[in-house]
Amino acid sequence: MNKLNPRQHEAVRYADGPLLVLAGAGSGKTSVITRKIAYLIEELGIPGRHIAAVTFTNKAAREMKERVGRIVDRGKTRGLIVSTFHNLGLNMIREEHTHLGYHPGFSIFDAEDAKALLQDLMMREASAEAGDELNDVQMTISSWKNAMRSPAEAYSKAADEREQRIAIVYKHYNEYLKAYNAVDFDDLILLPVQLFRDNPEVLAKWRRKIRYMLVDEYQDTNVCQYELVKQLVAERAAFTVVGDDDQSIYAWRGARPENLAQLKDDFPSLKIVKLEQNYRSTSRILRCANTVIANNPHVFEKALWSDHTIGEEIRIIRCRNEDAETERVATEILDQKLKNGLDFRDFAVLYRGNHQARLLEMKLQAYQIPYRISGGQSFFSKNEIKDAMSYLRLMINPDDDAAFLRVVNVPRREIGPRTLEQLSHYARSRNVSLFKALGDMGAETHVTEKGLDRLRRFAHWVDKTCERLFSEDPIPVIKQLFTDIEYEEWLHQHSGSPKQAERRMENIWYLVESIQRMLDDGKGTADEIGIEDAIAKLVLRDMMEQREEEDDSDKVQLLTLHASKGLEFPHVFIMGLEEEILPHRSSIEEGNIEEERRLMYVGITRDRETLALTYAASRKQYGEKLETIPSRFLDELPEEDVKWEGLGDQDKEANQKKGKATLSALIGDLGL
């Protein structure tokens, strides 16, 4: 889209004050942001290094950066910040770590690292329901951090004894993170906000650095992110935020669509530009999306329109049960692919919860339809694999502090945060790694005798294992490593069921086999590698996997409605349009239907050409077959734009006909 429409043009050229761009789905907001960056640099002469554009995913940041690179001379964009909120926060912490009391080389705990630490703390607090409560505790602490609530404040404002208990865990959790010279994901925003509040000089420095700020997906900001933006722009009010309150679907992780309305209060001179022209979908799809979302209250009114054709009716397909539903989706994909000469990648199947994908996967496999699940957990992000990789990293480099800290107490060796903090301080004063510091005589004056003894026993074992790893056949040594630390027993103590523990241990043996294969592959050739290289290769693979993988192969896309935001597909199926699925049961109980309706809106607007909505008339729950109620959102769609299927007895007959037609097409396609 080279040519900007009038509203987009207005949004790009307005730089006289604060600006809110209300951008509907598919209205070309990325074009607006990238063109605006170009306008600020080329027309207004603001150096690239003084502009920051912030978004929520690495993918969006990469795309934005690439687009800017195509339209602005590279020399002018030097120093331009285009990143996620968390990356911006990380850079701030790196630069200001001394003000925050951190040492260089601090670790970042991801959700799994944080979970393991919390689990350990809760077991220590002798919380009986540690396993059941774990996710809830993690979410509560995360929401407190996002709302900028300290442990002391969380404790004093606790609604009940449970919250008090979580506030105590929160306090210890923060202490441990500090002892490990580590931060968690939420800290990446919270710590800069706290630093700027407490240190006006540092804030002034960053305000000089960032003279113009652009924020994408503003409706997804939480309290803490809003505060960070406000701190940085408060002086000049030179900013553009882009958002759509109708696509705010992350309240469960602290997002506040109210932040859009809040802007008006905090910046009274705020200008609002609405982008309502949609470049993605047919007119009919947009009419349906507008009609559904109109049932929500709005601070800002807008209505999407398109100059595309009217397009096909939206199909609502009733299926007998969940098996018939997945069968229908699978055969429809095959049918449409063969009849219309489409690719598998042209289709996306969206659903409310990940559990809905299991049955669908089985069905797609049965029909040999290739698919890709978005947002599934990668092998290297599993907790047990991260433990194993940290042990292996430590074996080839005992000075890897992050690996040392991850495994020094996994399985537990009764080494407390105080001991680690003492060791850490001593290591920093000597400017050596934690491992090296253990060998120093001076450590005895800094670390308690009991703690030092436990640490040295661990270090001695690491030394011995390292020695064997490089002098013997490495694979038996690695296997012995997991036996020595009694890792399997530890997994049984920390898993939900024996089955889960066995599965996790199998993952470890799969990793060991992978190392074996890497060593065997090059044997006797010029490509022969040692154990160090094999582990280094795996570490690199891990890092690569952590980047959002781009898979452009020809596969049907399966993803949750949440994960579909920002994406588009030619042909979309949304499954499970039933009460208690979409809208979700918990939202019905809490009276929070508005967010579920926004989720429906996001689902509808992912589509470029055809949309099919499916539901099951009955579904098995807890071994019992129960009748379902079709989703209220189906009734909110305009009658003239939808076509109902599967309501009569002819359903079976129609399916048989369709099956025969698909078979004939397939035979024709194969030239039989």
- Supply the residues annotated as catalytic: 29-30, 216-217, 247, 606
Do 31 and 8 touch, CB atoms closer than 8 A?
A: yes
At which residue do the structure tokens 């993803």 appear? 559
Phi, then psi, of 103 in degrees rounded to 5: -90, 155
Starting at the edge strand found earlier in the chain, the sheet holding 239-243 runs 81-84, 51-55, 212-215, 239-243, 19-23, 271-275
Q: In sequence order, what are the residues at sequence separation of 6 or more whose Cβ sits closer than 8 angstroms to the Cβ of residue 321? A: 616, 617, 618, 619, 620, 625
User: Which two structure tokens, joined as six digits, stand for 179?
Assistant: 């002892």
DSSP code for 547: S
d(CA 290, CA 637): 9
Phi, then psi, of 83 in degrees rounded to 5: -155, 175
Spatial CA neighbour of 377 closest among 14, 10, 112, 39:
112
Q: At what angle do helices 187-198 and 130-146 cross, to 10 degrees?
A: 40
Which 3 state secondary structure label does DSSP give 240? strand
Rg from Cα positions in the chain: 28
Give whole-number Cα distances, 159 to 162, 378, 386, in Å.
8, 37, 36
Pairing of strands 569-574, 607-621: parallel
Do 374 and 585 touch, CB atoms closer than 8 A?
A: no
Pairing of strands 624-627, 607-621: antiparallel
Cβ atoms within 10 Å of 491's Cβ, excluding its own: 23
Instruction: Specify the DSSP element, H or E, that contains 501.
Output: helix 498-521
Instruction: Specify the DSSP element, H or E, that contains 319.
Output: strand 314-321
Torsion of CA 371, 372, 377, 380, to 10 degrees: 100
Which 3 state secondary structure label does DSSP give 108? strand
Cβ atoms within 10 Å of 449's Cβ, excluding its own: 8
Which 3 state secondary structure label does DSSP give 623? coil
Spatial CA neighbour of 556 closest among 363, 339, 353, 315:
363
Q: In sequence order, what are the residues at sequence separation of 6 or more whose Cβ sits closer than 8 angstroms to the Cβ of residue 430? A: 436, 437, 440, 442
At which residue do the structure tokens 């009919």 appear? 284
Which amino acid type is present at position 459? A
Which 3 state secondary structure label does DSSP give 411? coil
Give whole-number Cα distances, 171 to 89, 130, 152, 153, 442, in Å.
22, 17, 8, 11, 31
Cβ atoms within 10 Å of 486's Cβ, excluding its own: 12
Q: In sequence order, what are the residues at sequence separation of 6 or more whose Cβ sits closer than 8 angstroms to the Cβ of residue 73? A: none
d(CA 247, CA 252): 14
* Residue positions counted in the chain: 672
Q: In sequence order, what are the residues at sequence separation of 6 or more whose Cβ sits closer than 8 angstroms to the Cβ of residue 125? A: 165, 168, 169, 172
Task: Please state the separation of Cα 516 from the chain's center in Å.
Answer: 32
Spatial CA neighbour of 22 closest among 273, 255, 226:
273
